[in-house]
């Protein structure tokens, strides 16, 4: 059960990495749009510097055709580093690109997955990660729990090494549900994790404990002073 941050905001990555244990960073063109016109390759190199080589970095291609996807993947590998997982949307052209990249030994994250058939074909094409889009499936009246459960059972049944990297979350209930269905990893905006721990009842519990301690030992006294 692992988490990634679904953001390319440098300050958020630095800040929230102190609190949450993550195994990587994911992005897509819409996530990049939130930061404006970044210096594309330098920005990702900076993220790599922050997270280190032991965490995974997932960068999505924009091209829609096989040749374009392969060329963009090559540019990313050349200008960021060769450990980047190239995110490829699971279209017909995308499946060809996944196979092409795997033949070259490049890490691949199959993305924009709304259906079982997309995920299963991507697994068979050799994708290292498959990214089912939880919230977007719900928006389309597709059952993400059923889809993710099927992926998990097929991975078990046929011994695929593919990792389910669940994505597209709008609340932590969806994240927990993806894990319960067998996703090993979930990519989440840091703000969602932050909000999950900012519930008033949690803060009240902490305040109450501090108040009870103060009542017994006095104001401003810490355990280290005893």
Which residues have a catalytic role annotated?
A: 87
Read off the tokens for 20.
């949450």
* Piece of the chain touching ligand E4P by CB under 6 A; list 20-28, 36-44, 62-70, 94-102: 20-28
* Piece of the chain touching ligand E4P by CB under 6 A; list 10-18, 22-30, 121-129, 208-216: 22-30
Nearer to ligand E4P, 149 or 171 (CB): 171
Q: Which of 45, 48, 136, 194 binds ligand E4P (CB under 6 A)?
A: 136
Helix (H) or strand (E) holding 163: strand 163-166
User: Angle at which helices 92-103 and 116-125 pack, to 10 degrees?
Assistant: 20
167 lies in the binding site for ligand E4P (CB under 6 A): yes
Q: How many alpha carbons fall within 13 Å on the CB side of residue 167? A: 28
* Beta bridge mates, 167: 133
Distances in Å between the alpha carbon of 23 and those of 15, 80, 90, 185? 15, 18, 23, 9
Q: How far is the CB of 86 from ligand E4P (least distance, A)?
A: 13
* Piece of the chain touching ligand E4P by CB under 6 A; list 98-106, 129-137, 171-179, 212-220: 129-137
* Beta bridge mates, 113: 132
SS3 61: coil
Q: What are phi and psi of 24, to 5 degrees?
A: 175, 180
Q: How far is the CB of 45 from ligand E4P (least distance, A)?
A: 19
Can you tell me the distance from the alpha carbon of 26 to that of 39, in angstroms, rounded to the nearest whole number? 17
Residue pair 64/95 in contact by the 8 Å Cβ criterion: no
55 lies in the binding site for ligand E4P (CB under 6 A): no
Q: How far is the CB of 30 from ligand E4P (least distance, A)?
A: 5
Read off the tokens for 178.
């993806």
* Piece of the chain touching ligand E4P by CB under 6 A; list 24-32, 43-51, 146-154, 211-219: 24-32
Q: What are phi and psi of 74, to 5 degrees?
A: -60, -40
26 lies in the binding site for ligand E4P (CB under 6 A): yes
- Contact letters (x/-) for ligand E4P, 185-214, by CB under 6 A? --x---------------------------
Q: How far is the CB of 87 from ligand E4P (least distance, A)?
A: 7
Binding site for ligand E4P (CB under 6 A): 6, 26-28, 30, 111, 131, 133, 135-136, 167-168, 187
């Amino acid at each position: 059960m692992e988490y990634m941050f679904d953001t390319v905001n440098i300050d958020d990555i630095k800040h929230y990495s102190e609190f949450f244990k993550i195994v990587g960073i994911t992005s897509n063109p819409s996530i990049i749009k939130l930061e404006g016109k970044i210096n594309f390759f330098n920005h990702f190199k900076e993220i790599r510097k922050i997270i280190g080589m032991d965490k995974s970095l997932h960068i999505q291609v924009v091209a829609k055709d096989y040749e374009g996807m392969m060329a963009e993947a090559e540019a990313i590998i050349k200008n960021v580093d060769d450990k980047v997982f190239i995110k490829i949307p699971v279209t017909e052209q995308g499946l060809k690109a996944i196979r092409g990249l795997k033949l070259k030994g490049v890490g691949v994250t199959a993305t924009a997955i709304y259906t079982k058939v997309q995920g299963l074909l991507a697994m068979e094409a050799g994708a290292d990660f498959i990214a089912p889009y939880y919230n977007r499936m719900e928006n389309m009246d597709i059952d993400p729990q059923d889809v993710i459960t099927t992926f998990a059972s097929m991975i078990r049944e046929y011994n695929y090494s593919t990792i389910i990297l669940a994505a597209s979350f709008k609340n932590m209930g969806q994240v927990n549900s993806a894990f319960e269905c067998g996703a090993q990893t979930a990519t989440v905006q840091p703000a969602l994790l932050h909000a999950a721990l900012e519930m008033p009842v949690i803060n009240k519990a902490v305040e109450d404990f501090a108040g009870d301690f103060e009542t017994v030992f006095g104001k401003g006294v810490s355990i280290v002073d005893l």
